[in-house]
Structure 1
Amino acid sequence: MLQERIEGKWIDSFVETFRLCDVKEGEVCAILSETQSRPVIVHLAELALLRLGAKPFHVVLPTPKQTAPAPVRSTGASDAIQNLDPVIAALGSTGFVADCTVEGLLHAPELPAILKGGTRVLMVSNEHPELLERTAPTPDLEARVKTGIKMLRDAKEMRVTSPAGTDLTVNVEKAPAGGGWGYTKRGGTITHWPGGLCLCFPAPGSVNGTVVMDTGDVNLTFKRYVDSPITLTVENDFVTQIDGDGVDANLFRSYIAAWGDREAYAVSHVGWGMNPGARWDAMAAYDKRDYNGTEMRAFAGNFLYSTGANEVAGRHTLGHFDLPMRNHTISLDGMVVVQDGALQGELT
């Protein structure tokens, strides 16, 4: 069991990451948390900002009452702010926000209003500090992620295949593409730590084919490696059939049905991981309470298929799966960017 205490090396890691976010001496910075936030992360953020000479203040909110029909895990869509205008105004008027909420602001409904103020937001994933230390961002990752994002933006079609049976076609011509490398220096933007991901949000009716989660692939909602294959039939964005005989397929069917929402079956985003410091096998070394799973989204060469909310397609739901898979081949307009789970060409 890892201990959650302040370690000098973890303060150093936060300092270096905040420095990459261009935090300056004298800059007013907000630390956003909630009552269920991991205390050590909040404390490390404060100490790092003070060491940099910044002027931090805390915004602490009560974790809201549960209203969802099933446990909500690892969505990036915090509901802690509850549309409170004074909180939005406070965050938007600062130079930098260290987001230490449980789920994070990445897909929170208040995020556009916060970013409109010009602040920089770093979503610190709800991980044990050891993991954050191990996956701290480095400047060399930025250029490669930007190359991948450009490839996505220039492409018309993504094709994804695997030896296990995945054969998926995605029209990405009208799909906003983005990603992150673990830090941001530009006002009005958000990123997350750990970083290293290229993805896009397909427009309506853009995704068709079959996705096969093979043994060893990951369901991040459950923090679980898949023991037996799950086959998803996707028609015009929606999972229309879930095949598989094991516990994993049964869990998938049960959880996604619990939302009572057709949009929970739809595609949210698709993309691939870019971070060579993130590891597929790392989840096996952590207790579930110590692990939020952002590393799994980012390990180099994974294919990330996600279900749930997609604002580009006009779909909104709290039901969400992030499903990082190994051994897939991803091509953009016929050009292979990931071959059997390994990054290719300029992405390496």
Structure 2
Amino acid sequence: MLNDRIEAPWLAAFEQTLGLCGLVAGDSVAILSETQSRDILLQLAELALVRIGCHAFHVRIPTPTSHAPVPVRSTGASKILQHAGPALSALAASTLVLDCTVEGLLHAAELPQLLKGGARVLMVSNEHPEILTRLAPDPALTPKVKAAAKLCKQASKMRVTSAAGTDLTIDIEDAPTAGVWGYTERPGTLAHWPAGVVVCFPKQGTVNGTLVLDAGDINLTFKRYLEQPVTLTIENDFVTKIDGQGTDAELMKRYWAAWNDKNAYAVSHVGFGMNPKARYEALTMYDKIDTNGTELRAFAGNFLFSTGANEFAGRYTDGHFDLPVRNCTIYLDEQCVIQGGQLQGDLA
């Protein structure tokens, strides 16, 4: 982007989104950040909260040193809190925690403690504010995401196929499931912005089959559209074989191997995007530093397949891939919810 100065539409988007979170004058809101956070997001958050009349305060923590063997990007598992009691107490006692950390608290170890304390958390993805403004939450999307989450919770099996060769079966009976529509009104809940996605966290030994990442599909950890197909063989949750020619397969093989951790190859979560405002081609329009790629997780009709940590299956790792896949057909039991990459029925 050109100039990171406060723009009126950006401030209006923050005020609108925070209003959807049910904030009123007098509420205490913690703006959580780190020294590498995007400063303009902190400025917009503070100004919007002041305009609403909230008691806003900052919790700012030095960005910790990474001990990972490779660069870590877009995991949703910030490590800045490090179980620090005073910071956790201040955050948990707030009406809302506005999460402006680089990686976000979505999968952070301390998140359950914050939610148990009664705070609600809105993770503001580390995006340029132009992206956040374009994808400000739309209440009209909320009932559709809720309906999709309900279908996932009621189903026992997810089947994913594609003309490219994907054939994946996932047991989702009693799998923890979340729908995210971009704002949160209830204590003890979390949302992220941008949003418009439903995800399930499969239990142990429940994912089997073949996933074909075709040319044009997306590796969000690398913020890269694939140029050649990569085929993943998945057995009892774990990627056991990686087939493909060229740069994309080579990059994935090397990155996975660098972790030297079997759990990095395991399934984290599966789901699908539902946001009609999210654009598949958006990665071409922004420098990598200006986007976290959350928009690509949410574009309508994509099958979102992710590897890495899954606390519900008892697996923990810092290795993580988010892989939005196009042109898939998804069945929940016998109901087709996505046909060839198009949302069906009331979900469309």
- With the length of structure 2 as denominator, give the TM-score of the two structures: 0.99
Q: Does 1:67 align with 2:67?
A: yes
Match of 2:125 in 1: 125
Match of 2:230 in 1: 230
C-alpha distance in 2, partners of 1:174/1:261?
27
CA deviation after TM superposition for structure 1 residue 131, in Å = 0.3
CA deviation after TM superposition for structure 1 residue 8, in Å = 1.4
CA deviation after TM superposition for structure 1 residue 4, in Å = 1.4
1:282-323, Cα deviation, whole Å (9 max, x unpaired): 111000000100001111100000000001100000000000
**Amino acid of the structure 1 residue aligned with 2:265:** Y
**Amino acid of the structure 2 residue aligned with 1:97:** V
Match of 1:208 in 2: 208
Match of 1:269 in 2: 269
What is the Cα-based RMSD across aligned positions, in Å? 0.6
C-alpha distance in 2, partners of 1:246/1:160?
25
Match of 1:108 in 2: 108
Helix, strand or coil at the partner of 1:338: strand
C-alpha distance in 2, partners of 1:53/1:186?
19
C-alpha distance in 2, partners of 1:153/1:279?
27
**Amino acid of the structure 2 residue aligned with 1:312:** F
Aligned residues: 348
C-alpha distance in 2, partners of 1:249/1:325?
15
Helix, strand or coil at the partner of 2:48: helix
C-alpha distance in 1, partners of 2:288/2:87?
31
**Amino acid of the structure 2 residue aligned with 1:214:** D
Match of 2:185 in 1: 185
CA deviation after TM superposition for structure 1 residue 59, in Å = 0.2
Helix, strand or coil at the partner of 2:284: helix
Q: Which runs of at least 4 in structure 1 moved beyond 3 Å after TM superposition?
A: none
1:262-300, Cα deviation, whole Å (9 max, x unpaired): 000000000000111101011110000001000011111
Percent sequence identity over matched residues? Answer: 61
CA deviation after TM superposition for structure 1 residue 191, in Å = 0.4
CA deviation after TM superposition for structure 1 residue 3, in Å = 2.1
CA deviation after TM superposition for structure 1 residue 334, in Å = 1.8
Helix, strand or coil at the partner of 1:139: coil
C-alpha distance in 2, partners of 1:189/1:298?
20
Q: Does 1:14 align with 2:14?
A: yes
1:86-121, Cα deviation, whole Å (9 max, x unpaired): 111100000011100000000000000011111111
CA deviation after TM superposition for structure 1 residue 225, in Å = 0.3
- With the length of structure 1 as denominator, give the TM-score of the two structures: 0.99
Q: Does 1:331 align with 2:331?
A: yes
C-alpha distance in 2, partners of 1:10/1:96?
20
C-alpha distance in 2, partners of 1:221/1:78?
15
Match of 1:315 in 2: 315
CA deviation after TM superposition for structure 1 residue 2, in Å = 3.1
Match of 1:30 in 2: 30
Q: Does 1:341 align with 2:341?
A: yes
Helix, strand or coil at the partner of 2:57: strand
C-alpha distance in 1, partners of 2:98/2:47?
12
List alignment gaps of at least 5 residues for structure 1.
none
Match of 2:220 in 1: 220
List alignment gaps of at least 5 residues for structure 2.
none
CA deviation after TM superposition for structure 1 residue 179, in Å = 1.8
C-alpha distance in 2, partners of 1:202/1:2?
42
C-alpha distance in 1, partners of 2:28/2:327?
45
